[in-house]
Structure formats: structure tokens, C-alpha cells
Copies of this chain bind each other. A is one copy, B any other.
Amino acid sequence: MPAETPQFASLQTPVLLLDEAKMMRNIHRLEAHAKALGVTLRPHLKTAKSVEVAKRLGGGLEGPITVSTLAEAEEFHRARISCILYAVGIAPQKLSHAWDMRQQGCDLILLLDSIEQAKAVAAAEIPALIEIDSDGHRGGRAPDDPVLIEIGRILHAAGCLRGVMTHAGESYTVSGAAAHAAFAEQERAAAVQAAQALRAAGLPCEVVSVGSTPTAHAARDLTGVTELRAGVYMFFDLVMEGIGVCSIDDIALSVLTTVIGHQRDKGWIMVDAGWMAMSRDRGTQSLAVDQGYGVVCDTDGRVLDDLIISSANQEHGIVTLREGSTATLPDLPVGTRLRILPNHACATAAQFQRYHVLPADGGALQTWPRFGGW
């Protein structure tokens, strides 16, 4: 084991580490791809939940951005980002909050897929996108559903129809660029078909929004699409690595932890990153390589051969060799620091109140706040 990175010495683990250089590389990669495809990137900040991260996106504090809660919308608008899509179906009880934000100068756009929501949103005079179902994953109207036109008419009568949006959540269930490109085309085709149906009915459809991290990276042609959304790409994680969207070296997020004990006869090394730090997300369980609760690295971020957190209690992780491994369990005395790569960046980051950032310029560790809640 190399000597511990000195700047970690004073930290009390578990701590959420963010490698800014890797994050910037991930951000620039998708920005270049969106530019080549001729679409606006509207990053989803549900993963990062951080103004410091938002500042480092191509749009900076201009936006546009996507959020998953009104609490995120509030925080980002407080930082003067005003072009915000709240991409979760709107509950009528949230309309007065959304209306208040618009009065404060936030161009908040809502999402909906039913006549009842459209009537409430039209009455509140708030612009919205109509959700389109492109893969049977979650909400949304099929692009040929006649109710889509009805919803469009209700919104348009109040001047609230901005366009359509779809998200192929099923793209996470397949692996490799070709399979993701097929889902990207499925998103594009459904969104464009819905936009054409609205226009054919004499309705406007300015925004045609598609995306998920796998489809955004794999998309080859987005003709007819105006904007692309993705979130976890800023940090990446073991699920994205497992389905071939990134390499393990692209993962910008890790949890710094400390060895707190052993059961040597069982080959167990106990660390102070349990599920409270890693989250209960077991997203790699269904993939070709099950990474347990995360992949173990040394403090410089180098993967330790076949070492994973194979099980977790609230504040205990049990590190073992991967099942069937022929590697040798390293000797990691109590007090050894390790870094754990997470299954799912959105879930792991949500367990922490701040990032400890390894700055891209190689300077001293910085602290960036992050927020949660609703």
C-alpha cells in the first residue's frame, strides 16, 4: 500500500470524495457530443445537487438545467440559474410553490401526462412539457395517444404548451453502445412523432427533449430533437461502467473510508463505510459483474484486485475478495484508508451533506456543500 495521501490525514471517515479533473473530463465529453449532434444539453442536477458543480457545466449559471425536486429548483434559482425543467410529473399541491418561483423570475417548466394535470397547470398559467412514453419504463403518453392532443389543446389555450419530453429509463437494462444507440433512436422517434402529432393538430411544440446518460452518449443522430438531458454522466459509477457507458477510470466519485477491524479467519476486513455511506443501492447485482456495495481502491484511486464491499450494515462495510477470486487478500491494518467506488452515484452522493473535492489544479482539498430534501 502506498503511504496515505497527506491531505486525507485530518478527515474523519466516511467522507465523499470528488475528483474534479475526472468530472470535468466527463462534462466536456458529453458537451462535445451534444454540440456535434446539434442539440442543447440540459444537464440533470439530481445527481450532483451542488451549485459548485452547476457552475462548472457548459451553461454555467445561465443553465439550462433539469431538476428532480422543487427544493433543487429553489437552491439553483437562489444561485441565479433561471432556466429550470422540473422533470417529475407535477402534483397539484405543488402548483402554488411553482407559481411563486415563476413570480420570482425563475423560468420553471413543469412536466405532466394527464388531462387533470393539464387543467390544473393551465389554470395556474405555468408552462409545461408533455411526457411521452418511449419505452414502457415509467410515465408518459404514447406518441399516437389521442389524449396527447387533448392535453396539448388544454395547455395551449392558456399559453402553457412548451413541448414534449421523453426518458428511456429502460436503456439502463442493456449493455453496450449499439444497444444504447437503439434506445436513443427509440427516444428520438417517439419524441419527434409526438411533436409532429401536436403540430399536425395546429399546436406549437418548441421543445423536443430526450435523454438518459446511456442514450445521450450513444445517440448518433438526433434530427428533430432540440435538447438532450443526462445527469449521472458528471460523476459516473459502477452501473454505468457495468453497462459500458464509461470506464472505471472515469468514475469521479468515491467514499473515503478507514479499516476498523478484521475477522482474519473469514477473510473479512471491516471498514467504516456501511450502507449509510454507500447507500443501499445494489445496482450492479443484476449486471455481469456484481460489485457488492462498491469496488475498493487505495487512497490514490487505484483499484485493489478483486476487493469489494461484499456486505454492509448501517456503519460497517465488510470488505472481502470477490467470490471465486484467486487474488491474495492484502494486509490492511486498522487505520488504513481506502476509497470505495459506488454502484450508483445519485444514491451514494445523497447520503452526504458535502463533497470533499480533489481540485483539478492539484491544490488542497476543497469542500463543496450539497443539498437534499424536498
Contact = CB atoms under 8 A, between A and B. Distances in A.
Interface centre among A139, A258, A259 (most CB of B within 10 A): A139
A374 B373 CA distance: 18
Given A280-B281, A334-B92, A335-B93, A114 B261 contact: yes
Contacts of A353: 372-373
A172 to B, nearest CB: 10
A264 to B, nearest CB: 10
Contact of A261 (B70, B113, B260, B352): B113
A140 to B, nearest CB: 8
A138 B316 contact: yes
Nearest to A67: B315
A229 to B, nearest CB: 13
Given A97-B12, A280-B347, A350-B276, A89 B335 contact: no
Contacts of A266: 136
A366 B14 CA distance: 32
A373 B347 contact: no
A12 B93 contact: yes
A109 to B, nearest CB: 16
Contacts of A12: 70, 93-94, 97, 374
B89 A270 contact: yes
A144 interface: no
B88 A316 contact: yes
A15 B282 CA distance: 25
Contacts of A374: 12-15, 277
Contacts of A169: 313
A223 interface: no
B138 A270 contact: yes
A275 B347 contact: yes
Interface in A329-374: 333-335, 344, 346-347, 350-353, 372-374
A91 interface: yes
A156 interface: no
Given A270-B139, A373-B352, A117 B46 contact: no
Contacts of A93: 9, 11-13, 258, 335
Nearest to A282: B280
Contacts of A276: 68, 350
A360 B90 CA distance: 33
25 contacts: A12-B94, A12-B374, A15-B374, A88-B272, A88-B315, A88-B316, A89-B270, A91-B258, A91-B259, A93-B258, A113-B261, A114-B261, A114-B262, A131-B261, A138-B270, A138-B318, A139-B261, A139-B263, A169-B313, A275-B281, A275-B347, A280-B344, A282-B282, A314-B346, A353-B373
Interface of A: 9, 11-15, 46, 68-70, 88-94, 97, 112-114, 116-117, 131, 133, 136, 138-139, 169, 258-263, 266, 270, 272, 275-277, 279-282, 313-316, 318, 333-335, 344, 346-347, 350-353, 372-374
Given A12-B94, A280-B280, 15 more contacts: A68-B315, A88-B272, A89-B260, A89-B261, A89-B272, A91-B260, A91-B272, A91-B334, A92-B334, A114-B261, A114-B262, A116-B333, A116-B334, A139-B261, A280-B281
